[in-house]
């Protein structure tokens, strides 16, 4: 009798990369296939809230998916012993598991560590402080069951909102969203409430991706790095905190900006651009050599030599770009017809670039009085960026069919 009342042992804290396994490791006798939902509750000093939230969530989930869900409290060694309070509830709540992190800290990594230990096919997160109404969970679950890859509880759809927020706080929250839209429109623009920390995601959508969130906003990381096609949204009203206090300080705003920039950089094809630049550099030598040969050995006129040698440079660049810079893409678009089409597009784009080059130098030097070498340098940089970007979008475009 006494042994059944002993609290369950704590979950082992995963270490290493923040990566969610495709198939969950079996931590207990239960097969991983059996768990439908793993809901992580990140906590820091929430000892007063944890009994209520666990009780409410259990009551809700026992009704709809009894014994095929798990609640995972991930506590960062709170001084108010939140982890111990939670652990002491485990005999009464068999679906509850607790992780106590002593080495790492931070909301986003806590959520991912929890998901790493999770067995469910659907991974979710909810705040411990009851600011996220537990009832919304069922609507999120319904979205997932209809096929969503990601279901987000949003303050900005349907009957969603905030309770007693000051104008300043609303402004800051919206400002952060607008900033996100400017820096990462393709990510932040996909949901109405990118700041939400209340959502569910299909394991497959993020499994195997290395996540590296900075700060608080885990949803942005999931959207930015995951493979999310269908997004479902459910409105909710962000409740006032009754117990404990928010951990948000100005530091979270800095971290948020840092997070946006990190993701922005990860999304830019930096490696490709460096290869493109290297190829472009090689083209200068081809151009010069052919020009020299045409002038000295063949004895061609200045303009003819310049045109022909420039063309030789362009063909050189095309071949290397097709083989190396965009090799992965051209290998999926084989055949001579397609290759010639790419060459023609590349040629046309480079010629437009040349026209821009001349226009920019003239504008800077003749109209604005910029030093001519600086003008030339600005023109080269601008045109290289132009050539790279347009070729990326038009010549070596990844089409839906290739995927």
Residues that bind ligand GDD (CB under 6 A): 42-44, 46, 74-76, 105-107, 110, 127-129, 131, 195-197, 238, 246-248
Least separation in angstroms between residue 127's CB and Mn ion is 5
Least separation in angstroms between residue 80's CB and ligand GDD is 11
The residues that touch Mn ion, with contacts defined as CB under 5 A, are 129, 131
Residue nearest to ligand GDD (CB): 197
Least separation in angstroms between residue 131's CB and ligand GDD is 5
The residue among 86 and 350 lying less far from ligand GDD, judged by its C-beta, is 86
The residue among 100 and 275 lying less far from ligand GDD, judged by its C-beta, is 100
Least separation in angstroms between residue 307's CB and ligand GDD is 60
Least separation in angstroms between residue 128's CB and Mn ion is 8
Where does residue 304 fall: left (phi above 0), alpha (psi -120 to 50 degrees), or beta otherwise?
Answer: alpha
d(CA 195, CA 181): 12
Least separation in angstroms between residue 51's CB and Mn ion is 17
Q: Exposure pattern of 279-302 as b/e (b: 16+ CB <10 Å)?
A: bbeebeebbeebbeebbeeeebee
Least separation in angstroms between residue 67's CB and ligand GDD is 25
The crossing angle, in degrees rounded to 10, of helices 218-225 and 107-117 is 60
Candidates 187, 304, 335, 173; CA nearest to 238 is: 173
Counts for the chain of helices (H) and strands (E), in that order: 14, 9
The residue among 76 and 287 lying less far from ligand GDD, judged by its C-beta, is 76
The residue among 128 and 205 lying less far from Mn ion, judged by its C-beta, is 128
The residue among 33 and 163 lying less far from Mn ion, judged by its C-beta, is 163
What are 146's two structure tokens?
A: 């209809």
The residue among 22 and 249 lying less far from Mn ion, judged by its C-beta, is 249
Q: Residue 118 half-sphere exposure, CB side, CA atoms within 13 Å?
A: 34
128, interface contact from Mn ion, ligand GDD, none, CB < 5-8 Å by kind? ligand GDD
The residue among 152 and 375 lying less far from ligand GDD, judged by its C-beta, is 152
Please write down the long-range contacts of 394-398, taking CB distance under 8 Å and 24 or more positions apart: 394/345, 394/349, 395/326, 395/342, 395/345, 395/346, 395/349, 396/321, 396/322, 396/325, 396/326, 396/329, 396/330, 396/342, 397/329, 398/329, 398/332
Candidates 57, 202, 73, 66; CA nearest to 137 is: 57
46, interface contact from Mn ion, ligand GDD, none, CB < 5-8 Å by kind? ligand GDD
- What number of residues does the chain have? 403
């Amino acid at each position: 009798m006494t042994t059944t009342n002993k609290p369950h042992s704590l979950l082992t804290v995963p270490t290493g990369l923040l990566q969610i396994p495709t198939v969950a490791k079996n931590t207990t006798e239960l097969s991983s296939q059996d768990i439908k939902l793993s809901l992580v509750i990140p906590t820091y000093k929430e000892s007063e809230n944890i009994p209520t939230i666990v009780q409410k969530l259990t009551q809700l989930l026992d009704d709809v998916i009894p014994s095929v869900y798990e609640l995972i409290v991930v506590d960062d060694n709170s001084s108010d012993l939140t982890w111990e309070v939670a652990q002491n509830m485990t005999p009464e709540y068999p679906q509850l598991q607790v992780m106590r992190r002593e080495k790492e800290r931070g909301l986003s990594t806590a959520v991912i560590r929890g998901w790493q230990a999770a067995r469910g096919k659907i991974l979710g997160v909810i705040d411990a402080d009851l600011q996220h109404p537990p009832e919304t969970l069922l609507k999120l679950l319904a979205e997932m069951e209809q096929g969503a890859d990601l279901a987000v509880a949003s303050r900005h759809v349907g009957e969603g909102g905030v309770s007693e927020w000051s104008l300043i706080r609303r402004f800051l929250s919206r400002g952060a969203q607008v900033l996100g839209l400017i820096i990462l429109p393709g990510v932040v623009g996909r949901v109405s409430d990118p700041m939400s920390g209340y959502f569910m995601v299909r394991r497959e959508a993020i499994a195997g991706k290395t996540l590296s969130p900075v700060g608080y906003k885990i949803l942005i990381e999931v959207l930015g790095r995951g493979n999310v096609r269908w997004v479902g949204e459910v409105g909710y009203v962000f409740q006032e905190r009754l117990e404990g206090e928010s951990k948000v300080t100005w530091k979270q705003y800095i971290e948020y900006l840092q997070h946006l920039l990190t993701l922005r950089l990860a999304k830019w094809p930096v490696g490709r651009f460096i290869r493109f630049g290297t190829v472009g550099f090689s083209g200068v030598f081809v151009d010069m050599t052919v020009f020299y040969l045409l002038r000295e050995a063949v004895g061609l006129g200045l303009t003819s030599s310049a045109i022909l040698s420039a063309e030789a440079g362009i063909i050189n660049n095309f071949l290397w770009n097709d083989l190396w810079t965009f090799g992965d893409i051209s290998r999926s678009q084989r055949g001579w017809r397609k290759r010639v089409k790419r060459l023609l597009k590349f040629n046309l784009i480079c010629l437009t670039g040349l026209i821009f080059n001349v226009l920019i130098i003239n504008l800077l030097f003749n109209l604005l009085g910029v030093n001519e070498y600086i003008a030339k340098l600005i023109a080269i940089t601008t045109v290289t960026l132009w050539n790279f970007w347009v070729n990326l979008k038009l010549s070596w475009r990844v089409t839906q069919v290739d995927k």
